[in-house]
Amino acid sequence: MHVILGCDHAGLNLCAFLEQRLKSSHSLEIYQPKAGERVDYPDYAHLVVQVLLDKKDARGILVCGSGIGMSIAANRFKGIRAALCSDAYMAKMARLHNDANVLCLGQNVVGFGVALDIVEVFLKTEFEGGRHSTRLEKIEGLKC
């Protein structure tokens, strides 16, 4: 699976950890600032989302300090369902019921081992469909 990984300055360490763990089993595309460079999380959320919208078979992972900002920024785009997850159960349900295509993580919220578990579940779980498809159609059809 192709994974688009992005982070701001507050997520660099977790992003680097995930890159090392995923590079042997997934093709990766990474968007991150240089070490020591302070950046704005929406810029990196937008980069990852734009690439993801062009690659429907890929999944995105966004990391910042809390994961909240990345989630809010990513969810501004039609066709993006970004889920902020702090455990593997949330990641499983985000995929099964919500067909989430972006996982958001907070480097200051979850330990690296827990983050890896979350990512592995997120990447291997498929959308259940059925009654959940109708619900997603309603979300995508909302006019704001």
* Residues that are catalytic: 97
**Amino acid occupying residue 6:** G
**Angle at which helices 12-22 and 112-124 cross, to 10°:** 50
Q: Tokens 């078979």 belong to which residue?
A: 57
Please report how the helices 112-124 and 88-98 are oriented relative to each other, as an axis angle in degrees rounded to 10.
20
Find the distance separating the first CA and the last CA of the chain, reported in whole Å: 33
Q: How deeply is 140 buried, as exposed, middle or buried, from its count of CB atoms within 10 A (0-12, 13-18, 19+)?
A: exposed
